[in-house]
Amino acid sequence: MTGVAQSPIEHPSMPPAGAATPDQHQEAVMRGMFSRIAARYDTINRIISLGQDQRLRREALRRAPLPAAGRLLDVASGTGDVALRARRKYPGLHVVGVDLTWAMLRGAQIKSTAVRPPLAWTVGDGLALPFPDAAFDAVISAFMMRNVPDVRRAFAEQARVVRPGGRVICLEMSWPRRFPMSALFNLYFNGWVPFIGRLISGDAGAYTYLPRSVKRFLRPEGVAQQMEAAGLRCITWDTHMLGTAVIVVGERPAS
């Protein structure tokens, strides 16, 4: 496979062996699950979202006004869709994608082999981002926050690495609250989605976890509260796809 070495994936050193904390246990579970479905992740996403996942990523990126030669961090980058879209929109942008799972980033790396200059891919934990303070003009996460054990801490890390005045953008799924959409979404997400996920990926657990994770996740106002608790300000949000997705935006105070 040619070109792969042009955008190497950086790996952190492994933590010492010992009894796992709850956060480490959750991290291991998520890493294992996403490693198993990485090869089919894009295909299943397109099908179960009816192709809307790409439009949502576009909308999230639109909330991040960036200088032409600025720096963007894509947290939980997965197979790199946000990072690649950002580079197409801003050819001079320095884009870094970080993800917990090597197998997902391997897919991103392969998809980006022809991109020049190469994007940077790093294996890392969203609760302890391996970057210095104020290193980026904006930080985006897509479909990450419902998978982390500590939402406030994840936002605090994103607030730390964004420059003063820079934005933190969170794209997530949201369980609709109003009938009949709540009933229709329940039928779709607890029936059709696990069936398609199992059929294509062969992993029943990952796509029964998906609806559970969405249903138990915070409402948009709860996400906004966690952003505020993490030190972000000027927080706004808007819902999409009949209330089944939300984009929440916060700013790091300028002083």
Least confident of 64-73, 90-99, 180-189, 243-252: 180-189
H or E, element range at 202: none
Question: C-alpha 59: how far from its chain's center?
Answer: 14
**Please, are residues 130 and 124 in contact by the beta-carbon 8 Å criterion?**
yes
β 233-240/245-251 pair status: antiparallel
pLDDT digits (tens, 9 = 90+) for 225-241: 999 999 999 999 999 99
pLDDT digits (tens, 9 = 90+) for 124-164: 999 999 999 999 999 999 999 999 999 999 999 999 999 99
Q: Is the pLDDT confidence value at 255 over 90?
A: no
Report if pTM > 0.85. yes
Nearest to 228 by CA among 129, 169, 155: 155
H or E, element range at 164: strand 162-173
Q: What is the three-class DSSP state of 26?
A: helix
**pLDDT at residue number 11:** 47
Report the share of the chain in percent with pLDDT over 90. 63
Nearest to 130 by CA among 119, 122, 118, 138: 122
Cβ-count burial 168-191 (b if 16+ within 10 Å, e if not): bbbbbbbbbeeeeeeeebeeebee
How far apart CA 12 and CA 10 sit, in angstroms, is 7
Nearest to 98 by CA among 72, 66, 61: 72
Q: What average pLDDT score do residues 8-17 get?
A: 48
Q: Which residue segments constitute the domains of the chain, with CATH numbers given?
A: 23-175+218-251 (3.40.50.150)
- HSE-CB of 21 using CA atoms within 13 angstroms: 6
